[in-house]
Amino acid sequence: KHTEPMLSLDNAFSHDEVREFDERVKRFLKTGKEIEYTVEPKYDGLAMELTYRNGILYKASTRGDGYEGEDVTVNIKTIKAVPMKIEGEEVPEEIDIRGEVYIDIKEFEALNRERAKEGESPFANPRNAAAGSIRQLDSSITSKRKLYLACYGIGFTKGIEFTSQWEFITWLKKARFPVPALIKLVRGIDEVIDVIKEIEEKRGAFSFEADGAVIKVNDFELQKALGIKTREPRWAAAYKFKAHQAITNINDIIASVGRTGAITPVAFLEPVRIGGVTVS
Ligand code: IVH
């Protein structure tokens, strides 16, 4: 059971919808002043809660329905990027650190090639590949997959307090936790949109799949004042990128027979460059 629920995010599909989010925030707070926000990539992975007691990793759990997740501690401990203990001077009695476990794009593609060879259906996206790798009953399989972690959120804490998202991120870095690539602290919605554009431009160069950008009100007092709707906080939003698209020809379709006799149709495409990779 998560001590504090793990929430989801409201989506924005255009820059105008991002501006509307900022307007709602200001209206709710009854302020005309520019708001400070953090902006970072939205990772296409699996949300995770890492509970540390007296600085030692005690439990790792999936988001589940937001209130109760699966205990995946044994498998998570095989991921090199996950700190077994909190480094530094400020070690709290207890802290829930939230983040995304994700798979390297190259690893995702290699895994799918292997699955196709075995006649297994490929993972539809890196998120499913990360989830499949974490839910392995055999943790030695998890340990062989190239899985990483980006920490971006906080749940229950005892013995430490933060006043803002940026202060928390700074603490995470000092404590040697990986944080999102390109995370920025900005003021006002114009600067938010500049960072969103930068993330979208650099998206193809990331080693991970980013399906959007996440915008969060920086100040924790303001976050508290804004509160939560049912499952989504009023203080955050996800800007969703348009899916990568390309047009190509299907050269052939074969019926691939797997070990179990399951038949998977496999299409051979005329190779096409998309989102920094070649799809065939
Ligand atoms: S913040 C209230 N930051 O998106 C804040 N989530 O739609 C909730 N996600 O379940 C999460 N990258 O799995 C946050 N940089 C990021 C994220 C991120 C990916 C996922 C996460 C969450 C879902 C919400």
Q: Which atom of ligand 1 is nearest to the CA of 235?
A: 2
Instruction: Tell me how far the alpha carbon of residue 64 lies from the centroid of ligand 1, in angstroms.
Output: 13
Instruction: Measure the CA–CA gap between 240 and 237, rounded to whole angstroms.
Output: 9
Instruction: Tell me how far the alpha carbon of residue 143 lies from the centroid of ligand 1, in angstroms.
Output: 24
Going by CA atoms, what residue is nearest to atom 17 of ligand 1? 42
- Residue 227 sits at φ, ψ, to 5 deg, of 70, -165
The preferred substitution site among 6, 11, 43 for testing ligand 1, maximizing ligand atoms within 8 Å of CB, is 43
Instruction: Tell me how far the alpha carbon of residue 238 lies from the centroid of ligand 1, in angstroms.
Output: 8
pLDDT bin (cut points 50, 70, 90) of residue 275 is low
pLDDT at 239: 98
Ligand 1 proximity of 166 Cβ (cutoff 6 Å): no
Q: Indicate if the pLDDT at residue 277 is higher than 70.
A: no
Ligand 1 proximity of 233 Cβ (cutoff 6 Å): yes
Ligand 1 proximity of 47 Cβ (cutoff 6 Å): yes
Q: Indicate if the pLDDT at residue 276 is higher than 60.
A: no
Ligand 1 proximity of 226 Cβ (cutoff 6 Å): no
Q: Indicate if the pLDDT at residue 240 is higher than 80.
A: yes
The pair of three-digit structure tokens given for residue 170, joined into one six-digit string: 């700074």
Tell me if residue 216 is catalytic: no
pLDDT at 259: 85
pLDDT at 204: 84
Ligand 1 proximity of 236 Cβ (cutoff 6 Å): yes
Q: Calculate the average pLDDT of the chain.
A: 94
The preferred substitution site among 4, 8, 9 for testing ligand 1, maximizing ligand atoms within 8 Å of CB, is 9
pTM above 0.75, yes or no: yes
Q: Indicate if the pLDDT at residue 81 is higher than 60.
A: yes
Percent share of the chain, pLDDT over 70: 99
Instruction: Tell me how far the alpha carbon of residue 47 lies from the centroid of ligand 1, in angstroms.
Output: 7
Ligand 1 proximity of 149 Cβ (cutoff 6 Å): no
Q: Indicate if the pLDDT at residue 25 is higher than 80.
A: yes
Catalytic residue, chosen from 1, 30, 33, 42, is 42
What is the rounded average pLDDT of the residues 166-186?
Answer: 97
The pair of three-digit structure tokens given for residue 92, joined into one six-digit string: 């709290």
Q: Indicate if the pLDDT at residue 64 is higher than 90.
A: yes
